[in-house]
Amino acid sequence: MSSRQATALVDLDAIGSNFELVRSRAPNSNVMAIIKADAYGHGAIRVAKALSSANAFGVARVSEAVKLREAGIGQPICLLEGVNDREELNLASVFELQVVIHDRYQLDLLERVGARRKVWLKVDTGMGRLGFAPEEVPEVLQTLGKQTLLGVMTHLSEASDPVSQKTGLQLTRIREVIGKSGHPDVRTLNIANSAGILGHPASLAEWVRPGLMLYGATPFDDLKPIHDLHPAMTFSAPVIAVHPVKAGESVGYGGIFTASSNTRVAVIAAGYADGYPREIKQGAPVLIHGEKRRLVGRVSMDMICVELEPGDVVQPSDRAVLWGEGLAIEDIATCCGTIPYTLMTGVSSRVYRHYRASS
């Protein structure tokens, strides 16, 4: 590991044990592990290889699936948004990808080209985004033509909110769809995301689709870390300078922090271009030698500044943890009014990924 670089250390064993938690919460379900957006910033190929017992993988883009196939990933891979045009359909055929059908134009496309794919029918039970209305389903099933129906998928819109009644409503709607269809493969349901798996046992079905929980963060709105999950990513960066700041002097762009007494700051080589959020509040915690220290001044493109305490012995090449081991990503998300999803997926490509695994 270069000590001079911002780094995301990914613990593949943690991802493996989070996967086992999915298995224990959903013992009768097949698991479609969601590894879109480069496995939420963790590296899709490495994560896919570590999850060799996943029954399938889910990605958002055709390009993501192609990279996995080219890396030798042989399990079923599902395109969660399906295909948009002939070129994507061609790639889906060449690389044997499952496709979600959420709109009629996709079925027309398959028919026109004479393509035959394994398809999931997406039903909109309340997300209001992709999918057929429940009442359209019987008719859509009749137009499936040569396609092999894997089952029916729907997405929960409020499972992260423990008091919302919406999940129950969505489950009622999807069951009505099955009840009315008469089609045998419609009984294979694929509903639960991480929040469904952890918070709504009634949403467990033949398939589950965990994403965030595999990476060890809570999907719930309270942003309380979940004890049973193991955070997989530690985002860290080196100290590149330590210098005194006199009382009355400011630090960084806009001078939004002014020292009230003589103090010292450490400059850390990670900024918003690495994926550290510029919106984060003053005083947000950064871990140096295992101690929480306060972010001061604006987040720059390539650097942040952290105020040291009088006794701290810190020098260039020491490392600071921005989130991960010893500093929950949920706490950082709270400090900038966001969720772990955006922080993880925002870690940019110039951040060096390296991997830890026991085997």
Ligand X SMILES: *Cc1c(COP(=O)(O)O)cnc(C)c1O
Contacts with ligand X by CB under 6 A lie at 34, 36, 80, 155, 193-195, 209-212, 219
What is the amino acid identity at position 102? H
Residue 25 or 155 with smaller CB distance to ligand X: 155
What is the closest distance, in whole angstroms, from the C-beta atom of residue 19 to ligand X in the complex? 12
Residue nearest to ligand X (CB): 211
Residue 121 or 237 with smaller CB distance to ligand X: 121
Nearest to 45, CA basis, from 73, 19, 26, 20: 73
Name the catalytic one among 36, 272, 276, 341: 36
- What is the number of residues in the chain? 359
d(CA 171, CA 69): 34
SS3 200: coil
276 is a catalytic site residue: no
What is the closest distance, in whole angstroms, from the C-beta atom of residue 120 to ligand X in the complex? 10
Residue 155 or 298 with smaller CB distance to ligand X: 155
- Local structure of residue 327 (DSSP, 8 states): B
How is residue 291 written in tokens? Answer: 């101690």
Q: Which helix (H) or strand (E) holds 335?
A: helix 329-335
Which residues face 292 on adjacent strands?
287
Residue 80 or 314 with smaller CB distance to ligand X: 80
How is residue 36 written in tokens? Answer: 């879109």
Residue 1 or 133 with smaller CB distance to ligand X: 133
What is the closest distance, in whole angstroms, from the C-beta atom of residue 190 to ligand X in the complex? 8
Q: Residue 200 half-sphere exposure, CB side, CA atoms within 13 Å?
A: 31
> With contact defined as beta carbons under 8 Å apart, do 218 and 211 qualify?
no
Nearest to 259, CA basis, from 249, 269, 267: 249
> Distance from first CA to last CA of the chain, Å, rounded?
19
What is the closest distance, in whole angstroms, from the C-beta atom of residue 47 to ligand X in the complex? 13
What is the closest distance, in whole angstroms, from the C-beta atom of residue 58 to ligand X in the complex? 6
Helix spans in the chain (H): 12-25, 36-40, 44-50, 62-70, 86-94, 104-113, 137-142, 166-181, 194-199, 329-335, 340-346
Name the catalytic one among 105, 180, 253, 281: 253
d(CA 7, CA 238): 9
Whose structure tokens read 């057929």?
132
What is the closest distance, in whole angstroms, from the C-beta atom of residue 118 to ligand X in the complex? 16
What is the closest distance, in whole angstroms, from the C-beta atom of residue 130 to ligand X in the complex? 8
Backbone angles phi, psi at 102, to 5 degrees: -115, -5
> With contact defined as beta carbons under 8 Å apart, do 354 and 7 qualify?
yes
Residue 160 or 181 with smaller CB distance to ligand X: 160
d(CA 183, CA 34): 27
281 is a catalytic site residue: no
Residue 113 or 202 with smaller CB distance to ligand X: 202
The catalytic residue positions are 36, 253
